[in-house]
């Protein structure tokens, strides 16, 4: 019996690797990215549209709260278009809530002629340490226009730390054949390279799940950020989906988005750094609003649990 189980697990692993290889082979040599340029999808560049922070608030200045993963989270409300996307954000109890099992539900829904997205931000300081997100469902097959994000954020550090933003994003950025798992340490765009992109600050991959559970984690330290994703629940599990290390040896970079921004290497947390989770719509067609799901259906993601272990 143990031998059969081992053979079965090995077979599943081999099948997963074969599928990932096949999907990678289907990637086009180049396509228009979200910033209007051409990206070589054979590289590990992440297509990540910058968050519009000029008139938006991705922080914790909200009214309704939920308790999840041992923390209190503010539910964002935005009745005017704002980043990321831009989109409208709902704080309705029908769109963002924690169920009786302690699981966080986030939805993207159509209501009143508009599509509404959701976001929560933990109240209270976070910083160096390990962040773990346990995600339920086959998120590798999410609609191509949906973005599930786990990220650090700091409105008050905008000009000096590019928002202290570290990202894990599950999305295809509007293209059904693009990679669906993205890690990044902001900024990704700025004036310090000829093509104004910092490819060394991001990594991407294709992942496929056979069971509707996955673990996504990053460890933030002064000397670097370690990212990893696993099939199943655990840190680690037997099947790693992807991993990446961003080292402090990489050059510090300036951002296009903050004219007074100083070069950023590894972000340094402050007293107002928050951890956020969001579900939103990317604007692939660049019409100034997030694109509806390609099947026009409401979307939902469930986060089973969250862990934060300070350094």
Tens digit of pLDDT at every position of the chain (311 positions)? 444 444 434 444 444 444 444 333 333 333 334 333 323 333 333 333 333 333 344 544 457 999 999 999 999 999 999 999 999 999 999 999 999 999 999 999 999 999 999 999 999 989 999 999 999 999 999 999 999 999 999 887 766 667 789 999 999 999 999 999 999 999 999 999 999 999 999 999 999 999 999 999 999 999 999 999 999 999 999 999 999 999 999 999 988 776 657 889 999 999 899 999 999 999 999 999 999 999 999 999 999 999 999 99
Distance (Å, whole) CA 17 – CA 242? 12
- State how far the Cα of 221 lies from the Cα of 130, in Å rounded to an integer: 9
Per CATH, domain 43-310 is 3.30.499.10: no
d(CA 267, CA 307): 20
Secondary structure (3-state) at 23:
helix
Query: What is d(CA 64, CA 91) in angstroms, rounded to the nearest whole number?
Result: 7
pLDDT score recorded for residue 29: 31
pLDDT in the model for residue 146: 98
pLDDT at residue number 274: 95
Helix (H, G, I), strand (E, B) or coil at 82: strand
Cα atoms in the 13 Å half-sphere on the side-chain side of 36 = 4
Strand, helix or coil for residue 188:
coil
Distance between CA atoms of 272 and 57, rounded to whole angstroms? 13
* Cα separation, 297 vs 299, whole angstroms: 6
Within a 10 A sphere around the Cβ of 39, how many other Cβ atoms?
Answer: 21
> Structure pTM?
0.83
Residue 262 is predicted with a pLDDT of 82
Contact 166, 198 (CB under 8 A): no
Q: What residue has token string 């599943």? A: 12
User: Measuring CA to CA, how many Å separate 179 from each of 62, 195, 248, 258?
Assistant: 33, 21, 26, 28
Give the Cα separation of 226 and 51 in Å (integer): 23
Q: Locate 299 and state its tokens.
A: 């979307």
Greatest CA separation for the chain: 63
Q: What share of the chain is helix, strand, coil (3-state, %, to 5)?
A: 15, 40, 50
Residue extents of the structural domains in the chain: 43-310
């Amino acid at each position: 019996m143990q031998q059969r189980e081992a053979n079965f697990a090995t077979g599943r692993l081999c099948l997963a690797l074969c599928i990932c290889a096949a999907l990678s082979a289907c990637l086009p040599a180049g396509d228009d990215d979200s910033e209007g340029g051409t990206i070589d999808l054979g590289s590990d560049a992440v297509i990540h549209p910058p968050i519009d922070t000029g008139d938006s608030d991705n922080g914790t200045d909200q009214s309704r709260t939920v308790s999840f993963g041992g923390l209190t989270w503010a539910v964002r409300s935005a009745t005017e278009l704002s980043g990321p996307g831009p989109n409208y954000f709902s704080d309705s109890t029908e769109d963002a809530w924690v169920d009786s099992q302690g699981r966080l539900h986030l939805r993207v829904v159509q209501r009143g002629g508009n599509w509404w997205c959701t976001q929560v931000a933990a109240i209270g300081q976070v910083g160096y340490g390990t962040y773990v997100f346990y995600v339920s469902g086959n998120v590798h097959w999410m609609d191509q226009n949906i973005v599930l994000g786990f990220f650090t954020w700091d409105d008050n550090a905008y000009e000096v730390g590019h928002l202290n933003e570290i990202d894990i994003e599950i999305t295809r950025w509007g293209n059904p054949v693009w990679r669906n798992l993205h890690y990044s340490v902001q900024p990704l765009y700025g004036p310090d390279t000829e093509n104004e992109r910092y490819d060394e600050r991001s990594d991407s991959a294709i992942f496929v799940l056979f069971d509707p559970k996955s673990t996504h984690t990053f460890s933030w330290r002064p000397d670097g950020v370690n990212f990893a994703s696993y099939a199943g629940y655990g840190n680690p599990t037997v099947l790693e989906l992807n991993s990446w290390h961003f080292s402090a040896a990489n050059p510090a970079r300036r951002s296009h988005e903050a004219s007074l921004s100083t070069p950023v290497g590894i972000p340094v947390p402050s007293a107002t750094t928050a951890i956020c989770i969001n579900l939103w719509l990317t604007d692939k067609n660049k019409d100034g609003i997030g694109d509806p799901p390609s099947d026009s259906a409401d979307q939902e993601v469930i986060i089973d649990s969250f862990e934060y272990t300070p350094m």
